[in-house]
Structure 1
Amino acid sequence: MLLTSCDSTRTITESFLPRSQASFHLTGVALVAIIMGFVHFFLVAIITNLIHGAVSIGVTQGALGRKPTLARIWQLLRPRFWTLILWTILMSAVGTAVVLIALSPLALLVLSTRTSGHETVLAIGGAVLLWAVLLPLAVLTIVWLGIKLIFVTPAIVIENLGLGEALSRSWKLTHGHFWRILGAVLLFVLIISTAAVVLLIPLSFSFAFGGSLLHFAGLGFILTNSCTAIFTAAVTVLLLVLSSIFYTVIYFDVRVRKEGLDRELIHFTANYPGETDPQSAPNPYRSPAT
């Protein structure tokens, strides 16, 4: 369908514009679509990091016996807001660079459309060969960096570190625990994916059945799409919260194993009551190096 739409757009454009202008117009449309895609990706990344940071603060405050109200969470998150934005920009830039490198064989495919015969075969063969090498490397790079930098957000919002310190901190915390963290993440993704599928199948049938009942009134399409959009948004937020809790629990586990954080928290809660104002008490989660 997408290819048919693109062909139709090209045919309509070329019928009204000269060939050079039509090519320029299509290039501009493609550029706008790519820019909008990057903007959407960046906004989603910002929201994800903010939710991750807020949930991390809520979990850590609850572990100290403090009630994690929205006001308290925002009070602790606000000073770290721009650091989180900077981390999102860096993460998006690195991810985009890896994806662009993985998609670089497209240049050879474009070149193949401007050649013929033996040169076309060489260009297509070169593109396929590059993809066979670059695509696995891109996936492995993203997975490796994702695990090594999995604790950057908790380090920023919980330990109050700057971006450079948080990057170094996450790198050190994951040292020696890479495969265990990767296994836990894969298991979590498998469980969540299975639960989502089990939940989505009956709900999809329910939406379709409800929509067919109201089809005669002209409301079936509207009802089905509205319910689907609301349910998708709710599931997305739920998954973000659950994943944030999961990553925070892993952060706790690694720090307990490597730094004895549990003993530090027991000592802290014995000296500071649960409802002590976080601003008037030391940060028990601070990095041992600070």
Structure 2
Amino acid sequence: MSQEDEHRDSPGTAPEGPERERPSGSGAPAGSGTPDGGGGWSAPGQGPAPGVPGGVSGGAESPGVAGPTAPPGRDTEPERPAQYGWPDAQPGPAAGYGPPAAAPGYAPPGTPPGYGPQGTPPGYGPQGAPPGYGPQGHGYPGRPTAPKPGVVPLRPMTVGDLFNGAFALIRNNPKTTAGLAMIVVAVTSVISAVGFGGTMRDYGVFFDQALNDPASLDPAEPIPVSTWSIITTYGGALLSQAGYILVTGLLTAVVGLAVLGRRLTPGEAWAAIRDRLWTIVGLALIQLLIYFGLTLATALVGIVGVGVGAALLVSGAVEAGIAVIVLALVAVAACVCVFLWIVVRIHFAMPVVVLERVGVFASLARSWRLTRGSWWRVFGIILLTMLLVGLIGGLLTTPFTMGSLALVFLFPVEAWMPVASGALIYVGEVLINAFTTPFVVGVATLLYIDLRMRREGLDLRLHEAARAGHQVGPEVYLPEWRG
């Protein structure tokens, strides 16, 4: 061994001699794999130890910094990347080749200010968390941890995320969500409440007459409801549907921006859809015609098929009659399946009209494309939402309905009974719709956003909008070709 080799330090120890003294803040590059003139050593391909500024001399005073790289001609270990993040998930570097794990308080180079462990925004996990998982459980394998600036994490969502987001929407902004729904429903439900009160009055008179003088009943008029009551009831139902369409448009804009953490006021929600109002109405009418046509076709198939089968049975062709009736029932079931299939495929036309700002038929075509290949998932979530809303709505409406019916039986001919009965139903309808309508619209809009995240990478654009920090509007949802 030469004299030079005798004085060369073995790997893992700092070089001795004057080279060890080095002023702090030297500009020599760290991680070069060679002595930098002051003892700053690192493993091949690695930078300085986490938490240790480049240029600080190695040795016992520098935790996590390995000894010098073997000089040329000696055997060296293959280059190993630094193991930041979850050290237990993968084997660390060999002894003497860099830090085994990230030091506390360290963020990788290039991390924006405020995104390290000390300034982590909601949805971002610390450096020691498993890849793709944050402290709130908002991450998912294969992608970075998703931020959550608003009601949901900005990543493809689970059913729990959709429902939690819809509840958070109401909880975080009740003035705009429940408040808007309550105001619109209160205005549009007046006529239907009056019609219901008139219907209850007619039934009260009928029951009182049936109990006191059954012989006075007219068999030619089996329905004890006046024409005026029928007109007001169904006219009020149409007006209530128009109010529901308006609330749906308003809340769609609210949900779209709540995803990014913005809380729209009722005035801002109105400004967001004001120029889309007639398009929203046109879409609602087209959808209503589609639903009505499908329902009418299903009913006609059932009525005609069963009628023909019954006629064959009466004529003595029993086997043929039974076969026709069975075929008619199968055809009705097929029509119901087609009805549900089409309803699901055009379910997201309203969010498309409001957030993507396209026309009526373009929105229907866009919804059709978004749901391609996702029909069963969308159908299952819609069905679960309807069951949940029906259960909650049924529980909440029971006291009001029972109270209204009790007034009909206890005070059938009193003049104030129709007013009190209609008022009970009116109050119950307003209170219940104030909470169920925002929930249904919230789930539908979040599911639309989820589909775009899965198909178009919308979550990446929302990430950028959230990190930019400036206020954004519904234009963030415009498709690439319109953006």
Q: Normalising by the residue count of structure 2, what TM-score does the alignment of the two structures yield?
A: 0.45
Distance 1:153 1:6, change over 3 A: farther
In 1, are the aligned partners of 2:253 and 2:272 still within 8 Å (CA)? yes
Please give the alpha-carbon distance, in whole angstroms, between the structure 2 residues aligned to 1:62 and 1:103.
Answer: 41
Query: SS at the partner of 1:95?
Result: helix
- State yes or no: 1:100 paired with 2:308: no
Name the stretch that deviates more: 196-205 or 226-235: 196-205
Which of 239, 246, 266 pairs up with 2:463? Answer: 266
Q: Any residues of structure 2 matched to 1:137-286 within 5 Å, and which?
A: 137-204=334-401, 222-271=419-468, 273-274=470-471, 278=473, 283-286=475-478
Distance 1:161 1:272, change over 3 A: farther
Please give the alpha-carbon distance, in whole angstroms, between the structure 1 residues aligned to 2:455 and 2:245.
Answer: 25
Question: Percent identity among equivalent residues?
Answer: 21
Question: Which consecutive residues of structure 2, in runs of 5 or more, have no partner in the other structure?
Answer: 1-202, 204-216
* Structure 2 partner of 1:91: 287
Q: Give 1:51 shift.
A: 1.6
* Structure 2 partner of 1:66: 262
Distance 1:170 1:272, change over 3 A: same
In 1, are the aligned partners of 2:356 and 2:477 still within 8 Å (CA)? yes
RMSD: 4.2
Please give the alpha-carbon distance, in whole angstroms, between the structure 2 residues aligned to 1:127 and 1:41.
Answer: 37
Please give the alpha-carbon distance, in whole angstroms, between the structure 2 residues aligned to 1:172 and 1:243.
Answer: 22
Please give the alpha-carbon distance, in whole angstroms, between the structure 1 residues aligned to 2:281 and 2:400.
Answer: 36
In 1, are the aligned partners of 2:308 and 2:324 still within 8 Å (CA)? no
1:120-176 Cα distance to aligned partner (Å, 9 max, x none): 999986984564134322321221112111111001101111223212221121122
* Structure 1 partner of 2:220: 8
Query: SS at the partner of 2:476?
Result: coil
In 1, are the aligned partners of 2:249 and 2:354 still within 8 Å (CA)? yes
Please give the alpha-carbon distance, in whole angstroms, between the structure 2 residues aligned to 1:218 and 1:188.
Answer: 41
Please give the alpha-carbon distance, in whole angstroms, between the structure 2 residues aligned to 1:45 and 1:208.
Answer: 25
Please give the alpha-carbon distance, in whole angstroms, between the structure 2 residues aligned to 1:6 and 1:53.
Answer: 48
Paired amino acid for 1:283? E
Q: Give 1:245 shift.
A: 0.9
- State yes or no: 1:55 paired with 2:251: yes
Question: Which structure has the higher relative contact order (CA within 8 Å, separation 6+)?
Answer: 1
Paired amino acid for 1:266? H
Q: Give 1:98 shift.
A: 1.4
In 1, are the aligned partners of 2:306 and 2:325 still within 8 Å (CA)? no
Please give the alpha-carbon distance, in whole angstroms, between the structure 2 residues aligned to 1:213 and 1:9.
Answer: 24
Aligned residues: 259
Query: SS at the partner of 1:257?
Result: helix
Which of 321, 332, 343 pairs up with 1:135? Answer: 332
Please give the alpha-carbon distance, in whole angstroms, between the structure 1 residues aligned to 2:384 and 2:265.
Answer: 31
Name the stretch that deviates more: 110-119 or 192-201: 110-119
Please give the alpha-carbon distance, in whole angstroms, between the structure 1 residues aligned to 2:374 and 2:306.
Answer: 41
Distance 1:253 1:135, change over 3 A: same
In 2, are the aligned partners of 1:213 and 1:220 still within 8 Å (CA)? no
Q: Give 1:248 shift.
A: 1.0
Please give the alpha-carbon distance, in whole angstroms, between the structure 2 residues aligned to 1:123 and 1:106.
Answer: 17
Which of 48, 51, 75 pairs up with 2:271? Answer: 75
Please give the alpha-carbon distance, in whole angstroms, between the structure 1 residues aligned to 2:294 and 2:447.
Answer: 26
Q: Give 1:243 shift.
A: 0.7
Q: Give 1:119 shift.
A: 8.9
Bigger Rg, which one: 2
Please give the alpha-carbon distance, in whole angstroms, between the structure 2 residues aligned to 1:221 and 1:89.
Answer: 33
Paired amino acid for 1:259? E
* Structure 1 partner of 2:41: none
Greater share of residues in helix: 1
In 2, are the aligned partners of 1:42 and 1:92 still within 8 Å (CA)? no
Distance 1:220 1:117, change over 3 A: closer
